[in-house]
Amino acid sequence: MLDSTALDSTRFAALQQAPLWDFALAFYARPGVEQACLALQDIAAVDVCELVFHGWLFTHGLEARPEALSAQRQSCGEWQAGVTEVLRGLRRDLKRAERPSETLLALRERIKQAELLAERENLQRWQTWAWDADPPWQRLQNKPTMSNDTGIWLQERLLSPHDGQRSVFDEVTVEALQDAFDVLGRQLDPLQRAR
């Protein structure tokens, strides 16, 4: 019997024709996605770039092999912490200014653009990780067809304990997280391609 998760070369070829950045822009523009991503980022410290990466793979019927993700997750996490989150913190600090000057507003806008470029760089790193694996089946596999709904699938990719520690959330937070993942799952479902 053939392994249903063995990487399908047709799916991988389609993935290589669809840049992650293009997917990110289209997905983020879908109704409710931006708010859901920001909620997950603020409530559970979810890396939105990794979230988008998993969504991109999902739309091609693929997923990352969990055992292969660890080093990439750490590398991208270091980038996020050292660059993106620093820029985000500066931007948010400047936003709190009472009666900001034109110069301060211009500075905040530049920092916002730098933050976007930092996120684009992070997405590029995820894409390169997926595309440049030799052989690609070491990092990617077909997404099993018999899985939970998309929101739960995405939640399992992002909130499963990666370092052996499980996050504990109160009931209200759990509900907010589930709502955000439900929104993202519903928006990913229409983007699915034929498998």
**Rounded to two decimals, what is the model's pTM?**
0.88
Q: 51-87 burial by CB neighbour count: b if 16+ within 10 A, else e?
A: bbbbbbbbbbbbbbeeebbeebbeebbebbeebbbeb
pLDDT at residue 1, rounded to an integer: 40
pLDDT at residue 192, rounded to an integer: 55
pLDDT at residue 185, rounded to an integer: 93
Give the chain as a 3 state SS string.
Answer: CCCCCCCCHHHHHHHHCCCHHHHHHHHHCCCCHHHHHHHHHHHHCCCHHHHHHHHHHHHCCEEECHHHHHHHHHHHHHHHHHHHHHHHHHHHHHHCCCCCCHHHHHHHHHHHHHHHHHHHHHHHHHHHHHHCCCCHHHCEEECCCCCCCHHHHHHHHHHCCCCCCCCCCCHHHHHHHHHHHHHHHHHHHHHCCCC
pLDDT at residue 194, rounded to an integer: 41
pLDDT at residue 8, rounded to an integer: 87
pLDDT by residue, tens only, the chain of 195 residues: 445 678 889 999 999 999 999 999 999 999 999 999 999 999 999 999 999 999 999 999 999 998 899 999 999 999 999 999 999 999 999 999 889 899 999 999 999 999 999 999 999 999 999 999 888 999 999 987 655 588 998 998 888 765 555 567 788 888 999 999 999 999 997 655 444
pLDDT at residue 171, rounded to an integer: 86
